Amino acid sequence: MSRHCMSACNHFMKPNLVKSLSSSSPRFSLPHLHQFSFHTSSKKDLTTVTSTHSNFIKSGLSNDTFTTNNLINSYLKLLRISHAQKLFDEMTHRNVVSWSLLMAGYVSQGQPNMALCLFHQMQMQTQGTLVMPNEFTFSTLINACSILASLEIGRRIHALVEVSGYRSDLVVCSSLIDMYGKCNCVDEARMVFDFMCVRNVVSWTSMITTYSQNAQGHLALELFREFNHFRLGKPNHFMLCSAVSACASLGRLGSGKIIHGVVIRLGHDANDVVASALVDMYAKCGCVSYSEKVFRRIPNPSVVHYTSMIVGAAKYGLGTLSLRLFQEMIDRRIKPNDITFVGVLHACSHSGLIDKGLELFNSMNEKHGMMPDPRHYTCTVDMLGRVGRIDEAYQLAKSVQVGSEDDALLWGTLLSASRLHGRVDIALEASNQVIKSNQQVAAAYVTLSNTYALAGDWENAHNLRSKMKRTGVFKEPGSSWIEIKESTYLFHAGDISKCSQKREMLNLLRELEGRMKERGHVGVTTGLVFVDIEEEAREEIVSLHSEKLALAFGLLNTPKGITIRIMKNLRMCRDCHEAFKLISDIVQREFIVRDVNRFHHFKNGLCTCGDFW
DNA sequence: TTAGGGTTAG
């Protein structure tokens, strides 16, 4: 018998316990068993738990539900799900705790489907009376649906919650908010939140996170402000993390800095996840140097910290910094994950480091034992496509078997590259593949049409546009916005009528356009028509052009380091680059342009990452 | 004896 086992037996056979066991019926001996199992559940040693388990069997009292539940719990804490399942299977009387415990065990060990199966069994159980789920069961099941993003089952469980009388339970409601959020049903999450009689910091955080994770960062920050304004509690690291993340998604440097201040004041700056969110936020707000400062203060950076930093640097055009960080993490024996590789491949792609990028792509399997997935193939196709190695990119894309959503990304990437390099043949094939995937169809039509237009094939370009109109395929016009101090200025393609400084802006735009004409860049504008707007009218060419320049206009009034965000549908053309270059000449300072994928750092009129030229 | 919220992706 091991020392642990002896120790457990000695404890079990202490005189007072022996006395009560010998002088009482088994019924009265239960409290001691409860005490015993409670004691063991706090232990983290498998030997102790198994010896306790064996003592229960020897005692002949192992049919006790309460005690067995405690043992199941002990095994679950030791991540021994099979032991817990075996005990559960052998139980003669399972109660709601037994079921809920095992469900929670499966959820925490990444098997949420098993929890749902158990619930199904629980409802079908014929042994004794039917066990009814309680608030613990529901919150665990909702958590399982959240992980699986299973809206249908989640809604069914929500219905059961309503009829079972647990609709006012704080934990159940927070789980529901989280589940709806993870299933991208923001309105349903908000309904649960609004119907809650009592809320706590967790329920507020769940709602803030739902907004933040569903591209509604402004609502996340609004709710965060409301929580603080009404002094409903002290934000904890979970809530702060989501608020920082919301700032990152909006590119709100000012708010991000304020929240960073709150993080420090409340002593959450040492929290790893908060630090990671801050690294990401500063990078997305165009302050990679701040990201690096936060990153370098993390005592033991994890793979997520490194990845945040690698991705941030990559988007900023600092490919060599990304690669240096990647090497650093390898040297520190921190294993890169799939997202790290997406980041580092992205870095190579946008910094023209093709050989290094291909080497990394090949090393994924060879050195790191990781199979590249569609995202890695897409990055590599992008890498080859950007430098004009379209045929190689095409061959690589053809070699991948992916699902429809990934197909659209993969072939959409090749389509963009084909347009950039005027390869109508590959663009046609790529657009067919995108259309076949039934995702991003409108974008594919527009890009193909632009490819034709750039190649001078106006007939096909026009035919494609007509087809779009005929079949009702509509591409949402792009929009851009710029934040100057506390205000956000939003521009829609071809429309600056709502802009408050319209007159002033138009005057400047005329001046800029005049200077652009002098430099002979207006002729290229025709390509831009098909890239960004739906109508081919000449007037709109001018106004679209103006819109781009309007974006740049903000630079004149902004401090150094302003970030311009350009949304997905607005692609940079040479004219716009020239406009930015001109403005840079005028303002004589550095500035940063951010588009959906990356930052472009301009200095003295040149994009330092070389992406534009 | 059992349950809820946060970070990195083209």
Specify the nucleotide whose C1' lies closest to residue A378 (CA).
Answer: B10
Q: Does residue A248 register a pLDDT over 70?
A: yes
What three-state secondary structure class fits A262?
Answer: helix
DSSP string, A503-530: HHHHHHHHHHHHHHHHTT-GGGHHHHHH
Strand partners, A601: A592
The mean per-residue pLDDT over the stretch A442-466 comes to 80
Question: Is strand B within 7 Å of residue A67 (CB)?
Answer: no
Give the per-residue pLDDT at A508.
Answer: 64
For the cut 60, the answer to whether the pLDDT of residue A226 exceeds it is yes
State the nucleotide closest to A166 in CA–C1' terms. B3
Q: Is the pLDDT of residue A396 over 70?
A: yes
**3-state SS, residue A261:** helix
Task: For strand B, list residues 452-491 of chain A whose Cβ lies within 7 Å of it.
Answer: none
CB within 7 A of strand B (chain A, 328-357)? 337-340, 342-343, 346, 349
Query: Which residues in window 390-429 of A are less than 7 A from strand B by Cβ?
Result: 406, 409, 413
Torsion of CA A312, A314, A315, A317, to 10 degrees: 130
**Within 13 A of A413's CA, how many CA atoms are on the CB side?**
27
Q: List the A150 CA – B10 C1' distance (angstroms).
A: 25
Straight-line distance from CA A62 to C1' B7, in Å? 44
Q: Which CATH architecture is the domain A380-475 placed in?
A: Alpha Horseshoe (1.25)
Residue A46's pLDDT is what? 74
Q: Is the CB of A140 under 7 A from strand B?
A: yes
State how far the alpha carbon of A43 is from the alpha carbons of A2, A38, A71, in Å.
Answer: 16, 9, 11
List all residues 6 or more positions away from A396 whose beta carbon is below 8 Å from its beta carbon: A377, A380, A381, A384
Q: What is the mean pLDDT of chain A?
A: 77
Is A112 near strand B, with its CB below 7 A from some atom of it?
Answer: no
Nucleotide at minimal C1' distance from the A173 CA: B4
Q: Output the six-digit token pair for A284.
A: 């997305």
Q: Return d(Cα A495, Cα A546) in angstroms, integer.
A: 9
Check whether residue A213 has its CB closer than 7 Å to nucleic acid strand B.
yes
Which bases of chain B are contacted by protein, using any atom under 7 A from a CB?
Answer: 1-10
pLDDT at res. A101: 97
Assess whether pLDDT exceeds 60 at residue A244: yes
**Nearest nucleotide from residue A205 CA, by C1' atom:** B5
A:284-303 Cβ neighbours of strand B under 7 Å: 303
CA→C1' distance for A437 and B1 (Å): 51
Taking alpha carbons only, the member of A294, A220, A234, A230 closest to residue A265 is: A234
Three-class secondary structure assignment of A455-507: CCCHHHHHHHHHHHHHHCCCCCCCEEEEEECCEEEEEECCECCCCCCHHHHHH
A42 CA to B7 C1' distance (Å): 30
Residues 305-324 of A with CB under 7 A from strand B: 305, 307-308, 311, 314-315
pLDDT at A442: 82
Minimum CA–C1' distance nucleotide for A374: B10
Distance in angstroms: CA A28, C1' B7: 51
- The nucleotide whose C1' lies nearest the CA of A199 is B4
- Nucleotide with C1' nearest the A382 CA: B10
Domain boundaries, chain A: 1-93, 300-372, 380-475, 480-607
Which pLDDT value is given to residue A126?
58
Is strand B in 7 Å reach of the CB of A215?
Answer: no
Q: Are strands A599-603 and A487-492 parallel, antiparallel or unpaired?
A: unpaired
- Who wins on pLDDT, A328 or A544? A328
Tell me the nt nearest to A310, Cα to C1'.
B8
pLDDT-derived band at A577, boundaries 50, 70, 90: very low
**A584 CB neighbours strand B below 7 A:** no
- Tens of pLDDT along A151-176? 999 999 999 999 999 999 999 999 99
Provide, in whole angstroms, the distance separating residue A91's CA from nucleotide B7's C1': 41
Answer whether any strand B atom is within 7 A of the Cβ of A88.
no
User: Residue A335 — very low, low, confident or very high, per pLDDT cuts 50/70/90?
Assistant: very high
The mean-pLDDT minimum among A264-273, A421-430, A579-588 falls in A579-588
Report the distance from CA of residue A8 to the C1' of nucleotide B9 in Å, as an integer. 50
The C1' atom of B5 and the CA atom of A541 lie apart, in whole Å, by 48
Structure tokens given for A25:
């019926």
DSSP state letters, A281-301: HHHHTT-HHHHHHHHHT-SS-
What would the two tokens of residue A292 be? Answer: 């690096």
